[in-house]
Chain A
Amino acid sequence: MEKKLAVYICTGCGIGDALDIDQLSNLATSDLSVPICRTHANLCSQEGAQLIRDDMANEGVNSLVIAACSPRVMYDVFNFDGVIMERVNLREQVVWCQPPKEEDTQMMAEDYMRMGVTKATKMDLPEPYKPEEELSRDILVVGGGLTGLTASLEAVKAGFSVVLVEKQAELGGFQKKVAKKVTFPYKDIQDNDIDQLIQSVQQNDKIKVYTGAKVEKLVGGPCVFNLTVAQNGSTFEHRIGAVVQAAGWEPYDPAKLDAKLGYGASPNVITNVQFEEMSLAGSITRPSDQQAVKNVAFLQCAGQRDPNYLPYCSATCCFTALKQAIQIKQQNPGSNVFVFFKEMRTPGQGEDFYRKAQEEGVIFVRSQDPEVLVRGSKIEVQAFDELLGDTVLLGDLDLVVLATGMVPRTAFGEDCRAKEKKEGEPEVEVPQDAILASDILNLQYRQGPELPGLQFGFPDSHFICFPYESRRTGIYPAGPVRRPMGVANSIDDATGAVMKAIQCIELTSRGLAVHPRAGDASYPEFFMQRCTQCKRCTEECPFGAINEDEKGNPLPQPTRCRRCGVCMGACPERIISFKNYSVAMIGDTIKSINVPEEYDEKPRILVLACENDAYPALDMVGLRRMTYNAWVRVLPVRCLGSMNLVWVADTLSKGIDGVLLLGCQHGENYQCHFIKGSELANIRLSKVKETLDRLVLESDRVRFETVAITDYDKLPALLDEYAEKLNEIGPNPYKGY
């Protein structure tokens, strides 16, 4: 396609007052040879947008540079089909954060104009990825418990077909073993209606149910998954669009508990799960002799929120204990029921259920460290009551119920990494994802067969920012396998995960990216002739999107790709590029920055900013009308992980005095949209010192900082301090070359 470029400068929102617009448009038309450059006082108005449309229709303009506000705003107005578009952020990142009518401000705006025009010149129009094979729209649900059943029905309601695979011989999961349930409106215990749910799933002809079955193999990617189900020795094949992983949980093994909780010392010390079994069988009795129970103690957090056992809160045990306590009270109002707890966690409307238990006469004792004393057939609980400030002894107990926690099914199985190391392969520098071979999905992915975890064996989904997401595109964990949760949350979760699966199918079938770059039509292309089989792309892809053949050649699976560009940053041969984002394009953009001579005393700092957090934080600085260093030139990147080291070399050899990488916090509490992009950038940067030495340059010229979007107020000081440091080091000796 032959490009016809046009630049549109908006003079509204103070841009026209702070900058010499004529000079700026001169730069575009003469120095940068852009055929059309127009200014408008209010480009985001209907009239302004019409101006652009008219040019597209009449002048054949097909590449736009819009020099106005941040690309994070007005994207709905500046939304034109079939054209290349680049936004130059004159408002937030120039006139709102720099003094008006100053030479340095004008120079900053001009540099951004150069960078924008260069980008627009160098990029191509992305074409959506369309595989040749037929795209499936069916949803696979793994796990036939409450979450899986709900997910299946929700998918069908939205018009999708479902394949449901359940390991057990019958549907229902854990809820099948439960007599009463606790959920909205949390006023009283409720009868378990799981059987109705099972029935409606079984009767639905759009749901293909496999019980006593497992996923033997899952090959491919979103919309092109090939599923193999194994059932009774035979296998069944299905084509799948997206997956909801609802494999559920297992109770924590009470045999591992601290002896002072008394488990095993008496048959009358049981777990909350055993209580459910007893409740389902009939009435609650003393296990040792089936006599009526009069005095009962519940011990919460049994081996939970304790680094030696389960370090986390299982979220449901408080409700379960309340439910079971109410069951006992309703069975025998004369019974004495005590609940020993660390914290009573019944958030939201759950408070009403706590109140209900109190009204039934259940007594609560806040104690961090209760102890069960078993002497023959006598059971006592000794606990320090924090409110009384004294130890109390509760005797003559007929039953002690320990609240053991939930362990996700994904937490069982061998660690894949352990195997790899044995083979004597070279140590990988990039931290590997924790993937346990838990035999749930059996993905045929190069990085491992299951969803990667982060903590405690739960699949990592960054559950605060992006619930239901996992590190595997198109596979959405839901229910207690994602994090401990009860009935109400599991239903929410199932619904949410199905919605994500549907979004995935819809976007993928149009060749577009899913979250977080939802709707992005670009995808990485590999220039395979120059590949050296170094495997960095296959190792480093945060989403395991790239498989490998026997020779080590990457086999990209574009429907699994999230378009972060981490592979592009990783590739030492620079053979990976997107139509509108490539190593060369960014390199040229950097080189388009005008670097004044040394005696001008106008240093330049390139900021490579993550466009998800750091870039909006810089916008926020402008929004708040804070001022930062005028030497700064900001270049947004899809993810800091897409940074290729050659850009650092490009920058410094151009004579720019320093490179600052602004990325997201990484590690356990990471904030990166692409999980480990900023971490990878940091690792790569540690290696850049070598390069700098070769160039006889100070390694202090390159810096890595993590910022959250809320850290915007710290940015001006950070940039000033960095500029000061560069001033100390002195000008880049490569200036003028």
Chain B
Amino acid sequence: MSNRVDPTLITELEHFGLKDAHKCYNCGNCTAICPLSTPENPFPRKMVRLIQLGQRDKLLEAPEPWLCYYCGDCSTRCPRGADPGETMMVMRRYLTSLYDWTGFARKFYTSERFEIMAIAIVAVLVGLGLLLFNTGKPNWDHAAINSLWPAEHIEIADLIMGGILSFLLLSNVFRCFRIIMGKMAFKIPLRYYASEAKELLIHTLTQKRFSQCTDRMQWFVHLMIMTGYSSVFLLVVVFIRWFQRDHIEYAIWHPVRLVGYYATFAILYGTTYAIIGRLKKSKAPYKNSHPTDWMFLILLQLTTLTGIFIHFTRLLDWPATTYFLYVIHMMVAVPMLVLEVPFAKWAHLAYRPVVVFLLKVKERYAQETAAPATAEAVVEGAIS
């Protein structure tokens, strides 16, 4: 069975940011230098080869893009300037668009204009929503957000948004699961999934694999952004009642305050580092910046900054500024969540640990199903 070469793949990937993959002469330095590449799942060379040879189906089924954290070693060492690290990044964008059944992701990645328009529209809708749906009785004497937008109401909106986001993301994750597992999708008993669930959790929380990369700074920055983002996400979506307060009621060691400060610091530190890195193109992973990369960093930093401003205007007790900033804050934060989480860069938050997890499950299953067979063979061999 021959694998038909699709020469259009490489041109299609150019829309996702592919630039230099054709320069690769397949020497394999990238794979050799990569601390994460294994004989079972070698990358990036193999992936680059799939692109060169237009192997669409094979690329779709490949878990390898998700095993890469883009430390950039391969791009630094590439003798041809083929930038394999960026190629892996492009493949993650491409796979994200393929996992997404709505087609939004594809639009998002391939059209900068679409991305900006979509974010602008959602932002305007959020702004209008906040102006239309509120108590109508703002406290003009003191800065009290709850007077205009009570936390309970926001919580309802949060739940609706969370439901939609979860549905979109999970349905995409399910497609990812089907694709990665292929024929094995429903064959492996659930206990295997259960036994590896701990790994899933650990990987998600610690990004353990990323720490194996040579440039541990990247792992650290990534971990800061990820943990900061996740914890503040929990605060604003699940614990909004405790988070959106008009007065400081908790002691300094109260978890909500501690988590809030940590998240603020972590995100600011991480995004500032990344933005400066990308502006200066200081290292390989920062050399190529797709519009979605910028969008994500800018939205996240703006959300955090507006959040900090609200904190201060509230302390200064400036009601009008606070309410105004609150609207802006929401206009930035909500599009980021609604669009980035299921359709763009944030989706990797789900795909990467899921794929790592699925590979572990597969590996475990293969080991355990192969072992008895060999034992049998040994016994048979001994008898005969």
Contacts of A365 in B (CB 8 A): 53
Contacts of A392 in B (CB 8 A): 2-5, 53, 55
A residues 342-396 near B (Cβ < 8 Å) are: 354-355, 358-359, 361-366, 382, 385, 387-388, 390-395
On whether the beta carbons of B23 and A388 are closer than 8 Å, the reply is: no
On whether the beta carbons of A382 and B52 are closer than 8 Å, the reply is: no
Task: Kindly provide the distance from the CB of A527 to the nearest chain B CB, expressed in whole angstroms.
Answer: 67
Q: A363-B52, A387-B49 given as contacts; is B80 within 8 A of A358 (CB)?
A: yes
B148 on interface, CB distance cutoff 8 Å: no
On whether the beta carbons of B5 and A338 are closer than 8 Å, the reply is: yes
Residue of B nearest to A358 (CB): B23
Q: A363-B22, A392-B2 given as contacts; is B80 within 8 A of A355 (CB)?
A: yes
Residue of A nearest to B48 (CB): A387
A175 on interface, CB distance cutoff 8 Å: no
Q: Which of B22, B45, B50 has the most CB of A within 10 A?
A: B22
Contacts of B10 in A (CB 8 A): 361, 363
On whether the beta carbons of A336 and B7 are closer than 8 Å, the reply is: yes
What's the Cα separation between A382 and B55 when bound, in Å?
14
On whether the beta carbons of A393 and B4 are closer than 8 Å, the reply is: yes
What's the Cα separation between A334 and B50 when bound, in Å?
20
Contacts of B80 in A (CB 8 A): 355, 358
- Provide the B4-27 mask, 1 if CB < 8 A to any CB of A, else 0: 110100110000000000111110
Q: A358-B25, A358-B80, A359-B23 given as contacts; is B4 within 8 A of A385 (CB)?
A: no
On whether the beta carbons of A387 and B2 are closer than 8 Å, the reply is: no
Kindly count the residue-residue contacts between A and B in the assembled complex, taking CB atoms under 8 Å apart: 58
Contacts of A361 in B (CB 8 A): 10, 22
On whether the beta carbons of B3 and A391 are closer than 8 Å, the reply is: yes
Q: How many of chain A's residues touch chain B, expressed as a range?
A: 20 to 34
Task: Kindly provide the distance from the CB of A467 to the nearest chain B CB, expressed in whole angstroms.
Answer: 31
The one of B3, B7, B25 in contact with A390, judged by C-beta atoms closer than 8 angstroms, is B3
The one of A334, A355, A387, A395 in contact with B4, judged by C-beta atoms closer than 8 angstroms, is A395
A295 on interface, CB distance cutoff 8 Å: yes
Task: Kindly provide the distance from the CB of B218 to the nearest chain A CB, expressed in whole angstroms.
Answer: 29
Q: A387-B49, A393-B2 given as contacts; is B26 within 8 A of A295 (CB)?
A: no
Task: Kindly provide the distance from the CB of B278 to the nearest chain A CB, expressed in whole angstroms.
Answer: 25
On whether the beta carbons of B50 and A388 are closer than 8 Å, the reply is: yes
On whether the beta carbons of A363 and B25 are closer than 8 Å, the reply is: no
Q: A355-B80, A385-B53 given as contacts; is B7 within 8 A of A393 (CB)?
A: no
Task: Kindly provide the distance from the CB of B54 to the nearest chain A CB, expressed in whole angstroms.
Answer: 8
Q: A358-B80, A388-B55 given as contacts; is B5 within 8 A of A394 (CB)?
A: yes
Contacts of B4 in A (CB 8 A): 392-395
- Secondary structure at chain A's binding surface: helix, strand, loop or mixed? strand
On whether the beta carbons of B2 and A391 are closer than 8 Å, the reply is: yes
Contacts of B7 in A (CB 8 A): 295, 336, 338, 363
On whether the beta carbons of B53 and A364 are closer than 8 Å, the reply is: no
Contacts of A388 in B (CB 8 A): 3, 46, 49-50, 53, 55
Contacts of A391 in B (CB 8 A): 1-3
- Provide the B253-287 mask, 1 if CB < 8 A to any CB of A, else 0: 00000000000000000000000000000000000
What's the Cα separation between A86 and B366 when bound, in Å?
82
Q: A363-B53, A388-B53, A388-B55 given as contacts; is B3 within 8 A of A393 (CB)?
A: yes
- Provide the A436-452 mask, 1 if CB < 8 A to any CB of B, else 0: 00000000000000000
Contacts of B25 in A (CB 8 A): 354, 358, 364
Contacts of A338 in B (CB 8 A): 5, 7
Task: Kindly provide the distance from the CB of A392 to the nearest chain B CB, expressed in whole angstroms.
Answer: 5
Residue of B nearest to A395 (CB): B4
Task: Kindly provide the distance from the CB of A326 to the nearest chain B CB, expressed in whole angstroms.
Answer: 13
Task: Kindly provide the distance from the CB of A387 to the nearest chain B CB, expressed in whole angstroms.
Answer: 5
What's the Cα separation between A587 and B2 when bound, in Å?
75
What's the Cα separation between A388 and B26 when bound, in Å?
10
Task: Kindly provide the distance from the CB of B303 to the nearest chain A CB, expressed in whole angstroms.
Answer: 40
Contacts of A295 in B (CB 8 A): 7
What's the Cα separation between A395 and B55 when bound, in Å?
13
What's the Cα separation between A388 and B2 when bound, in Å?
12
Task: Kindly provide the distance from the CB of B41 to the nearest chain A CB, expressed in whole angstroms.
Answer: 15
Contacts of A336 in B (CB 8 A): 7
Residue of B nearest to A357 (CB): B22
What's the Cα separation between A675 and B16 when bound, in Å?
64
On whether the beta carbons of A393 and B22 are closer than 8 Å, the reply is: no
Contacts of B52 in A (CB 8 A): 363-364
B residues 38-75 near A (Cβ < 8 Å) are: 45-46, 49-50, 52-53, 55
What's the Cα separation between A338 and B49 when bound, in Å?
13
Residue of B nearest to A362 (CB): B22
- Provide the A384-420 mask, 1 if CB < 8 A to any CB of B, else 0: 0101101111110000000000000000000000000
Task: Kindly provide the distance from the CB of A235 to the nearest chain B CB, expressed in whole angstroms.
Answer: 56
Q: A355-B80, A358-B25, A361-B22 given as contacts; is B2 within 8 A of A382 (CB)?
A: yes
What's the Cα separation between A295 and B6 when bound, in Å?
11
Residue of B nearest to A351 (CB): B25
What's the Cα separation between A298 and B1 when bound, in Å?
22
Task: Kindly provide the distance from the CB of A293 to the nearest chain B CB, expressed in whole angstroms.
Answer: 13
Task: Kindly provide the distance from the CB of B141 to the nearest chain A CB, expressed in whole angstroms.
Answer: 67
On whether the beta carbons of A393 and B23 are closer than 8 Å, the reply is: no
Q: Which of A334, A362, A390 has the most CB of B within 10 A?
A: A390
Task: Kindly provide the distance from the CB of B80 to the nearest chain A CB, expressed in whole angstroms.
Answer: 7
Residue of B nearest to A396 (CB): B7
Residue of A nearest to B4 (CB): A393
What's the Cα separation between A358 and B79 when bound, in Å?
13
What's the Cα separation between A336 and B6 when bound, in Å?
10
Contacts of B45 in A (CB 8 A): 387
What's the Cα separation between A387 and B25 when bound, in Å?
11
What's the Cα separation between A358 and B24 when bound, in Å?
8
What's the Cα separation between A362 and B24 when bound, in Å?
11
With A358-B22, A387-B46, A391-B1 given, name 20 new contacts (CB 8 A).
A336-B7, A338-B7, A358-B25, A359-B23, A363-B7, A363-B10, A363-B53, A364-B52, A366-B26, A387-B45, A388-B53, A388-B55, A390-B3, A392-B3, A392-B53, A392-B55, A394-B4, A394-B5, A395-B4, A395-B5
The 6 closest A-B pairs by CB, nearest first: A393-B2, A336-B7, A394-B5, A391-B2, A361-B22, A393-B4
Interface, chain B (partner A; CB < 8 A): 1-5, 7, 10-11, 22-26, 45-46, 49-50, 52-53, 55, 80
24 contacts between A and B (CB under 8 A): A334-B11, A338-B5, A355-B23, A358-B23, A358-B25, A359-B22, A361-B10, A362-B22, A363-B52, A364-B52, A365-B53, A385-B49, A385-B53, A387-B26, A387-B46, A387-B49, A390-B3, A391-B1, A392-B4, A392-B5, A392-B53, A393-B2, A393-B4, A394-B5
